[in-house]
Structure 1
Amino acid sequence: MEYEPNYYQDRVALNVLAGSVTNAKDIYQAAKGHVVCGVLTKNYQSNESCITDLKKYQKAVNNAISVGLGAGDPNQSKMVSEVSKVIQPQHVNQVFTGVGYSRALLNQDKTVINGLVSPTGKVGYVNIATGPLSSKEKTTEVPVTTAIALLKDMGGSSFKFFPMHGLAHKEEYEYIAKACADNNFSLEPTGGIDLENFEAILDIALKAGVHRVLPHVYSSIIDQNTGLTKPEAVAKLFEIIKVKLD
């Protein structure tokens, strides 16, 4: 699979959901290629049907694909890994415990794999118990820097901090941003991000010095009538990014 020189070279890119192949094309154009289009494995009954569909998306947007779980569903972890092995996408969403399996099946270090960690309410700590079994147990709180080191050990590329509920966990997020910057690790703020708080959330990461930021902006920019992400909203977000990076 040939990789287009867009998302991989970006300091900031968007992650938004694509509701159809046409929607993905529109999103890709609206962001001038600085985006990965999320497709959720949870929406498919089998690996085969998901792979068949994802190949159509790949062709439409130069492989700017993000293979998703579906609201962080840990039960999708295995499917995400197995689908990604075939698809070889630019980006993979994973629960914390699924990162190593995804990297092993991909058998390359180019694809970005995030590891889902959740807020704890305590600055400097994150919950890493986000896997199929671990999520049913008590919260496992570990220092942010330890979580980063563990993800690096497993072949992970970035922190997916979810669910953020917008700026509800601002102090925790600020600490995470600084830790990611200090440890040369990417950051993916996720959950409750919209056109109103996007700039503030992005600003925190950039001011901390994070080398690559991939904000996930999902339900807030989806047309409730069509279920499709609004290209005009993506264009607005991209304009904010351009201003911040100038």
Structure 2
Amino acid sequence: MVDLTSNFYKGKVALNVLANSVENAKECFAAAKGHILLGVLSKNYSDDAAAIEDMKRYQEATDNALSVGLGAGDPNQSAMVTRISGVLQPKHVNQVFTGVGASCALLGQNDTLINGLVSPTGTPGMVKITTGPLSSTKEAGIVPIESAIYLLKDMGGSSIKYFPMKGLTTRDEFVEVAKACAKHDFILEPTGGIDLTNFEEILQIALDAGVKKVVPHVYSSIIDKSTGNTRPEQVKELFEIIQKLVG
């Protein structure tokens, strides 16, 4: 059984950041006092065996706070994420919309958090669900956010990964997504363009809407470009904002 409880601060918020190495993962885990999920990208590995072998090291070092990632939402990584997650049984899996059912089936349990990637459309209340390997190459499939949530629940998904948000550029759309997640008791994972300047407002929008669990992804803005490491001191700053808002 996978227990996510400890990763959510007061049961409400867990950070998601990228880990560049096992040591970097340990530093970030400590900076957020364990209320974190650590992204390791499948795209960085040549094959399943290499990914599984290396990701096990992250699991052992961080109480399985592993978030198996695609790599910038790359739909071509969907099948690999499904396969390696079935073996690893991580706490968190990132998936394109169409990959959720397969990942859920291979995991064989309902405790791992599996998100489904949907994208902004320019119209509040509507989202793009054609984020899979084939569907992403064709005309956009746009549906009401509530329909997307129902479809994800049908497939066994846990949350909406809303990407790419481009920070607060899509604020009006994000508000509607947050309201729908609150209404239907669904986890929300805002992703894309989130940094220390807009993190608080984005998280506050989700909490004000009544979303019970939020997993904000903060990636490139807190990565040291010279080393590739996520800066633990900035993870600490983000966690302090979480503590302030959640209480």
State the TM-score, normalizing by the size of structure 2: 0.98
Which of structure 1's runs of 4+ aligned residues deviate more than 4 A? none
Tell me the secondary structure at the aligned position of residue 93 of structure 1. strand
Alignment of 1:28-43 (within 5 A): 28-43=29-44
Q: Deviations over 1:157-208 (max 9, x none)?
A: 0000000000011000000000000000000000000000000000000000
Q: Shift in Å at residue 4 of structure 1?
A: 6.5
CA distance in 2, matches of 1:243, 1:4: 22
* Structure 1 residue aligned with 2:104: 103
Contact 1:119–1:127 under 8 Å retained in 2: yes
* Structure 1 residue aligned with 2:50: 49
* Structure 1 residue aligned with 2:94: 93
CA distance in 1, matches of 2:123, 2:107: 34
Tell me the secondary structure at the aligned position of residue 189 of structure 2. strand
Q: Shift in Å at residue 2 of structure 1?
A: 5.8
Would the alpha carbon gap of residues 34 and 137 (structure 1) be closer, same or farther in structure 2, given more than 3 Å must change?
A: same
Q: Shift in Å at residue 70 of structure 1?
A: 0.1
Alignment of 1:101-140 (within 5 A): 101-140=102-141
Tell me the secondary structure at the aligned position of residue 206 of structure 2. helix
* Structure 2 residue aligned with 1:149: 150
CA distance in 2, matches of 1:151, 1:4: 19
* Structure 2 residue aligned with 1:161: 162
Counterpart amino acid of residue 88 in structure 1? Q
CA distance in 1, matches of 2:136, 2:11: 32
Counterpart amino acid of residue 7 in structure 1? N
Gaps of 5+ in 1: none
* Structure 2 residue aligned with 1:69: 70
Gaps of 5+ in 2: none
Counterpart amino acid of residue 39 in structure 2? G
Tell me the secondary structure at the aligned position of residue 243 of structure 2. helix
Would the alpha carbon gap of residues 11 and 54 (structure 1) be closer, same or farther in structure 2, given more than 3 Å must change?
A: same
CA distance in 1, matches of 2:168, 2:215: 16
1:219 aligns with 2:220: yes
Q: Shift in Å at residue 3 of structure 1?
A: 3.6
Q: Shift in Å at residue 7 of structure 1?
A: 1.7
Q: Shift in Å at residue 232 of structure 1?
A: 0.2
CA distance in 2, matches of 1:128, 1:3: 28
CA distance in 2, matches of 1:53, 1:87: 11
CA distance in 1, matches of 2:229, 2:89: 24
Tell me the secondary structure at the aligned position of residue 169 of structure 1. helix
* Structure 2 residue aligned with 1:177: 178
CA distance in 2, matches of 1:94, 1:49: 20
Counterpart amino acid of residue 137 in structure 2? K
CA distance in 1, matches of 2:114, 2:22: 23
Counterpart amino acid of residue 95 in structure 1? V
* Structure 1 residue aligned with 2:243: 242
Counterpart amino acid of residue 164 in structure 2? P
Between the two proteins, what is the percent identity of the paired residues?
61
CA distance in 2, matches of 1:219, 1:4: 25
Contact 2:4–2:112 under 8 Å retained in 1: no
CA distance in 2, matches of 1:215, 1:160: 9
Q: Shift in Å at residue 5 of structure 1?
A: 4.1
| Residue-pair matches, total | 246
Tell me the secondary structure at the aligned position of residue 111 of structure 2. coil
Would the alpha carbon gap of residues 37 and 182 (structure 1) be closer, same or farther in structure 2, given more than 3 Å must change?
A: same
Would the alpha carbon gap of residues 106 and 38 (structure 1) be closer, same or farther in structure 2, given more than 3 Å must change?
A: same
Q: Deviations over 1:44-70 (max 9, x none)?
A: 000000000000000000000000000
* Structure 2 residue aligned with 1:6: 6
Contact 1:187–1:212 under 8 Å retained in 2: yes
CA distance in 2, matches of 1:178, 1:193: 19
Counterpart amino acid of residue 233 in structure 1? Q
